[in-house]
Structure 1
Amino acid sequence: MDDHRRTGGSLIGRRGAPLQIVRALRSGHWPTLLGAWLHFEVSFMVWLLVGALSIAIASELGLSATQTGLLVAVPLLSGALLRIPVGISSDRMGAKRTGLAILLCELAGLGWAWLGASSYLHMLLTGLLLGVAGASFAVALPLASRVYPPAHQGLAMGIAASANSGTVLAMWFAPRIAELTGWQGAFGVMAAPVLMTTLLFAGLVQSDRRLGRTGAVAWRPALVDVGRDPFMYWLCGLYAITFGGFVGLSSSLPFFLHDHYAVGVVAAGSLTALCGLVGSLIRPLGGYVADRVGGLTVLPTILGAITLLLAFVGSLPTLPWAVVLIVTAVAAMGFGNGVVFQVASGRFAKQMGIVSGVVGAAGGLGGFLLPLCLGWLKDLTGTFSFGFWLFAACAGWGLVGARYLKGQPRYAGDLPMV
């Protein structure tokens, strides 16, 4: 009987998986899930749009590497800082209402960049406004979670989180559009998918009254509670390396490739799009492997790989080797993103709302610091090497921290879920 069950289960697992996924998606309100995915997809695109157009902007405005690094980093900073208040707003004001407000802010920022921005200061202010797109994370994931039963929330949230592939849209299309219309015109053209998403989001997503809310005041004690746990600060640091590296490199790679290797605007965007695609697609695999063997078991290997790969990138090898190393490093970071959140869910299962906001904000802050340091150290030393070596040192610190956490008995709850 046991053999029959095992064999039958195996066959069902192999042949019935697509059908089970369809049934799982039908168990909740799939139009809301689609709306959440669209929101995060176009918002991630907008979040990295300044980075995608940084070469053209820097060339026209005559920016230094430090100025370009700051320009690219500003949207990442404002997105990081807004993730927590946007998460709170989703609970207090409603996720749908908050999501629509974010999309309208994105449209305002794109419109200003298209029709009004003409100086470096204007573009810095535009970056601050477009940074609100980075807070979409705190809308899309709660939406996906609230419209599905607990048994299928992992699938729903995984689908919503896969929309960080919006990186590909920004890096692939924006430079090509800019060649035809100029960088200001590219902002105008990229407003079209945001406008369409706004209309679809308004029609697809359930009303806030039907979605329900998780509590208007509960976030305060939850924030104080998780703030007392040192494990939270380790998670923030680790996510600042993995997600911060992913989004920071995605934003700064175009101007690095153009400045050091003289890669053309379109080619630099294409290579960055490849990195973003690989880093996005591999994230669910990181979570799956962490489920099987334990996140804290996997993290030292991932962080060790990131450390070595970035150290080699810092040696500034020939372009083909640099591309291979960077794509592999970004893939390791994307894998690590899934692992870190598996660890977070195991440690803070009852507080994942506030934990997602805090850890996500730390990741965005890491993304802000990376392009800023790359540009500043390039102007200071005349080479990008020291920026990559500094990032490699941070990843090395993360490796030491992950090994320390693994050896602590009080964190022994990090067990494989088989």
Structure 2
Amino acid sequence: MTAPTTTPARKGGRWIEQWDPEDETFWREKGEKIATRNLLFSILSEHIGFSIWSLWSVMVLFMGPEYGVDPAGKFFLVAMPTLVGGFLRVPYTFAVARFGGRNWTIVSAALLLVPTVAAAVVMEPGTSYTTFMVVAALTGVGGGNFASSMTNINSFYPLRKKGWALGLNAGGGNIGVPVIQLLGLLVIGTAGAAHPRVVLGVYIPLIVVAALLAALFMDNLAPARNDGGAVREAARDAHTWIMSFLYIGTFGSFIGYSFAFGLVLQNQFARTPLQAASLTFIGPLLGSLVRPIGGRLADAYGGARITLWNFAAMSVAAVVVVYASAQKSLTVFLVGFIALFVFSGLGNGSTFKMVPGIFQAKAVARGLAGEEAAAYGRRLSGAAMGLIGAVGALGGLGINLAFREAFLNAHSGTPAFVSFLVFYALCSAVTWAVYLRGAQSAGRSDATRTQEPQGARQPAYADV
């Protein structure tokens, strides 16, 4: 049995000095209970973070003609939080090791008050478009929460449970998107479209509660220290950027569609704000709920296999949406679009499970074993997750900009959906070529493999 990872003691602040989740005895007797508690309150904070990140996908539904913002301007408005949130994910990732997971969760939750209060101040006709853009950009802090939360939870769980744990953490956070959209629907349907501040009034106390609960019940892991070498090594590894590309296809789709769905319904199918709000929450809700299932399937069958089939399914769903968009069939469009949400959610779970698996496989290929291999995998995957999450979030920006150009020039979303279809087909090809094509070579005889120099062995990624 390997000794738990140790670091010099840090006083106060609920620091845990020893943590070895790969030790089954430690995990059974102590680790699982602590990890589960931290996961629950991490989900709560990330959930509210996602709600605030997607705030302007709801606020634009309240913005009638009296606001003087055209459809193209609204698409650009909802794209701004995605851009800022994507860039913030990188420093948020490393803040966990610098300040501690619990401590940074408190700070990142409290920061959500800034865009929420600012929106409450400016949300009225007569406010300049520039002011709306600045306040929308502030909500990017909610997008940063995902990176710090996932990096933190990744450190708490053993490799065999990462897919499920990361899926729960991310899925619970993702549900923040449909929840705030449902709240927007409730407000529009009861108080009316002239009262967007009601939505903001609900979230301000929730943010305070999330920060307080994190302070009371979460922990910091002392072994999870900042490692600039890990960041540089992850950035130099081709798999970090390959997985970033694939995550654009899954998470980029999820967040981009979540922000744009209501506007697409209003502009392509002439839905009123109330009619659009009554439909926009369905896709994000289902996509959030199935994310843990994607992680669990990846744990059982291999993330690469699930990701490949998932991109194939997204391609089929995109064909349905292109057809429905061209034919102006709302019913078929909703079926295809909601399917895109579901498969993007499954893919979110399977792709993020691949990340720790890839670096664990690389550790084994380097001749490492046991806790040494697990520590290498945690070190590199934690650093890579921040970069992958940041690039994936920027995919949401691309989707909103593609919709903006499509409606501006073709007055339809069809050209944008065609481009998404091509991208999913490319993601399928990359997944197969990089992570599955060489799976057969992994079955070569042991005699053949032992003739290779140890440093020349290539890890098999089919089961990551």
| TM-score band, normalised by shorter chain | 0.7 to 0.9
Gapped runs of 5+ residues in structure 2? 1-26, 361-376, 442-456
Q: 1:155 to 1:202 in 2, by over 3 A?
A: same
1:196 aligned onto 2:209: yes
Equivalent positions of 1:304-323 (< 5 A) are 304-315=312-323, 316=325, 317-323=328-334
The separation in 1 between residues aligned to 2:28 and 2:70, in whole angstroms, is 51
1:57 CA drift (Å): 2.5
Q: Give 1:246's aligned amino acid.
A: F
Contact 1:35 1:204 in 2 (8 A): yes
Deviations, residues 165-220 of structure 1 (Å, cap 9, x unaligned): 111211111232245252244323332322222222222223x4xx325123x1x2
Q: Which amino acid is 2:185 matched to?
A: P
Match of 2:99 among 84, 93, 96: 93
Q: Which has the higher helix share?
A: 1
Q: TM-score, normalised by structure 2?
A: 0.78
Query: 1:97 and 1:119 mapped to 2: Cα distance?
Result: 37
Residue 174 of structure 1 aligns with an amino acid whose one-letter code is: G
Q: Do the aligned residues in 2 keep the contact of 1:235 with 1:340 (CA within 8 Å)?
A: yes
- Aligned equivalent of 1:329, options 340, 347, 359: 340
Superposition deviation, residue 337 in structure 1: 1.1
Superposed displacement of residue 148, structure 1: 5.6
Q: Which amino acid aligns with 1:326?
A: F
TM normalised by structure 1 equals: 0.86
Partner of 2:402: 373
Q: 2:87 aligns with which of 78, 81, 93?
A: 81
Kept after mapping to 2: 8 A contact 1:299/1:339: yes
Taking the TM superposition and a 5 Å limit, the aligned residue runs for 1:130-141 are 130-141=139-150
1:362 aligns with one of 373, 385, 391: 391
> What is the letter of the counterpart of residue 148 of structure 2?
V
- What's the CA shift for 1:236? 0.7
CA distance in 2, matches of 1:151, 1:404: 25
Kept in 2, the 8 Å contact 1:83–1:361? The answer is yes
Kindly state the Cα deviation for residue 385 of structure 1 after the two structures are TM-superposed: 0.7
| Residue 177 (structure 1) aligned with residue 207 (structure 2) | no
How far has the Cα of 1:336 moved from its partner? Answer: 1.0
Q: CA deviation digits over 1:234-270, x for unaligned, max 9?
A: 2111100111001110110011111111223233223
Contact 2:82 2:397 in 1 (8 A): yes
Q: Indicate the SS of the match to 2:69.
A: coil
Aligned-partner SS, 1:28 = helix
Is contact 2:163–2:296 with CA below 8 Å preserved after alignment?
A: no
Q: How does 1:266-285 map to 2 (within 5 A)?
A: 266-285=274-293
Alignment partners' CA distance in 1, 2:185 and 2:65: 13
- Which among 133, 137, 144 is matched to residue 124 of structure 1? 133
- Take 2:305 and 2:157, find their aligned partners in 1: how far apart are those partners? 30
Q: 1:102 aligns with which of 108, 117, 122?
A: 108
- The 1-side partners of 2:318 and 2:64 are apart by 25
Q: CA deviation at 1:383?
A: 1.4
Larger Cα-atom Rg: 2
CA contact (8 A) 1:295 1:414 kept: no
- Render the CA deviation track for 1:352-410: whole Å, top value 9, x for unaligned: 21111111111100011111210122101221111111111111211221222122468
Q: What residue identity is the alignment partner of 1:170?
A: I
CA RMSD of aligned residues (A): 2.5
Name the amino acid aligned to 1:198: A
Deviation (angstroms), 1:73: 0.9
Counterpart of 1:168, as a letter, is: P
> Cα 1:321–1:201, aligned 2, differ >3 Å: closer, same or farther?
same
- Equivalents in 2 of 1:132, 1:388: separation in Å? 29
**Alignment partner, residue 364 of structure 2:** none
Contact 1:109 1:126 in 2 (8 A): yes
Q: Secondary structure at the match of 1:414?
A: coil
Match of 1:212 among 196, 219, 222: 222
Q: C-alpha separation between the residues in 2 aligned to 1:154 and 1:293?
A: 11
Q: Distance in 1 between matches of 2:36 and 2:180?
A: 26
Is contact 2:47–2:176 with CA below 8 Å preserved after alignment?
yes
Q: Give the structure 1 partner of residue 416 of structure 2.
A: 387
Describe the SS at the equivalent of 2:461: coil
The percent identity for this pair of structures is 24
Q: CA deviation at 1:41?
A: 0.8
Check whether the contact 2:244–2:388 (CA below 8 A) recurs between aligned residues.
yes
Structure 1 residue 299 and structure 2 residue 320: aligned?
A: no
Counterpart Cα distance in 2 of 1:382 and 1:148:
48
| 1:168 equivalent in structure 2 | 178
